[in-house]
């Protein structure tokens, strides 16, 4: 079973590992319990340790451990099918004609297989190419630095706020938003939690520090701020009718900025008028530079998109 080079820069085995009519392990049994347990851990870790710069996660991306389990069942030698036993598919070619973002290919390379993948959708193909190509680190760093400096030049100004201690320019690390929801009496802003940060000494920074009466006002309108659990208990779960056709971002109102001043270090501050002007300027920049109109993103009624329409989401934006 020596691999042979044929045309197009890929390799195939002289003879297929599995002959037509053969039964492979996966046809007769599958280690469901261990596959399920490991996929569970993998999904949990993926959420916890998500890197802050990452090519957009493909929606259909499945758990790699599940595919590793499947591939291990194709190992000809039963003694090498164990999940933790390395290798087993050396010299074999794995073809995935509908590869999506290439999870199968990523997993098949590790036990030694050659891989070929296709997909009709160009976006996952781009992602699979990017993640499967062996690009030298120095090359990646060069591209990243160029991208970052361009990003800083164009976007950094939207991430600056005034330090509440000295009034100097400070960096915005993130902004906490409240979601507009309709309660029995009025519209409210729902925050996941009123607790903003727990300090190492056990004390808590709370939204009440910035909004003592738990009320947010802007341009003559005001909303009570309600914690999510409290909102759920009191039947606050409907979306205000005027935002049904708006983009998801417009359902949120910025409340608190977490920032960092060179002199005064980390702080949490109430959104002030200058911050709101900054957010509006960023929104205008997006509108000016976007090569699409809202109409391009209207959700059509279909077997899957119907779910979104039923949840009162009318635009992909
Ligand atoms: Zn300061």
Query: Could you read off the pLDDT of 231-268 as tens digits, one per residue?
Result: 888 888 777 766 656 666 778 899 999 999 999 999 99
Tell me the pTM. 0.60
Residue 20 to residue 152: CA distance in whole angstroms:
57
Mean of pLDDT over the chain: 84
Task: Please compute, for residue 200, the number of CA atoms within 13 A of its CA located in the half-sphere on the CB side.
Answer: 0
CA of 259 to the centre of ligand 1 (A): 10
CA of 104 to the centre of ligand 1 (A): 50
CA of 187 to the centre of ligand 1 (A): 35
**Average pLDDT for 63-84:** 88
* CB-proximal residues (5 Å) to ion ligand 1: 163, 165-166, 261, 263-264
Closest CA to 88 of 42, 10, 25: 25
**Average pLDDT for 89-114:** 91
What pLDDT does residue 8 have?
A: 35
CA of 163 to the centre of ligand 1 (A): 5
Residue 208 to residue 212: CA distance in whole angstroms:
4
CA of 84 to the centre of ligand 1 (A): 53
Per-residue b/e over 175-206, b at no fewer than 16 CB within 10 Å?
bbbbbbbbbeeebbbbbeebebeeeeeeeebe
Q: 21-67 pLDDT, tens per residue?
A: 667 777 777 889 999 999 999 888 877 776 665 555 566 667 888 88
Whether the predicted pLDDT of 3 surpasses 60: no
CA of 73 to the centre of ligand 1 (A): 60
Q: 280-311 pLDDT, tens per residue?
A: 899 888 888 888 887 888 888 888 888 888 87
Q: 186-202 pLDDT, tens per residue?
A: 889 999 989 988 888 98
CA of 165 to the centre of ligand 1 (A): 5
**Average pLDDT for 98-104:** 90
What pLDDT does residue 11 have?
A: 40
């Amino acid at each position: 079973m020596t691999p042979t080079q044929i045309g197009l820069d890929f390799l195939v085995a002289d003879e297929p590992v599995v002959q037509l009519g053969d039964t492979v392990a996966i046809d007769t049994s599958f280690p469901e319990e261990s596959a399920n347990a490991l996929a569970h851990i993998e999904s949990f870790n993926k959420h916890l340790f998500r890197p802050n710069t990452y090519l957009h996660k493909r929606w259909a991306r499945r758990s790699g451990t599940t595919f590793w389990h499947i591939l291990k069942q194709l190992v000809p030698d039963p003694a090498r099918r164990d999940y933790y036993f390395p290798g087993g598919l050396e010299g074999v070619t794995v073809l995935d004609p509908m590869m999506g973002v290439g999870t199968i290919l990523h997993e098949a390379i590790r036990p030694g297989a050659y891989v070929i993948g296709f997909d009709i959708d160009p976006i996952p193909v781009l992602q699979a190419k990017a993640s499967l190509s062996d690009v030298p680190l120095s090359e990646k760093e060069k591209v990243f630095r160029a991208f970052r400096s361009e990003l800083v030049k164009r976007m950094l100004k939207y991430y600056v706020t005034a330090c509440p201690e000295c009034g100097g320019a400070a960096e915005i690390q993130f902004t906490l938003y409240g979601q507009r929801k309709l309660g029995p009496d009025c519209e409210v802003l729902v925050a996941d939690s009123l607790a903003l940060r727990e300090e190492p000494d056990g004390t808590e920074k709370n939204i009440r520090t910035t909004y003592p009466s738990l009320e947010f006002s802007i341009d003559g309108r005001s909303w009570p701020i309600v914690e999510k659990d409290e909102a759920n208990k009191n039947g606050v779960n409907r979306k205000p009718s005027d935002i049904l056709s708006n983009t998801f971002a417009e359902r949120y109102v910025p409340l608190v900025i977490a920032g960092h001043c060179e002199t005064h270090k980390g702080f949490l501050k109430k959104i002030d008028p200058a911050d709101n002007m900054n957010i509006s300027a960023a929104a205008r920049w997006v509108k000016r530079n976007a090569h699409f109109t809202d109409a391009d993103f209207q959700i059509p009624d279909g077997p899957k998109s119907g779910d979104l329409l039923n949840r009162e989401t009318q635009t992909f934006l």
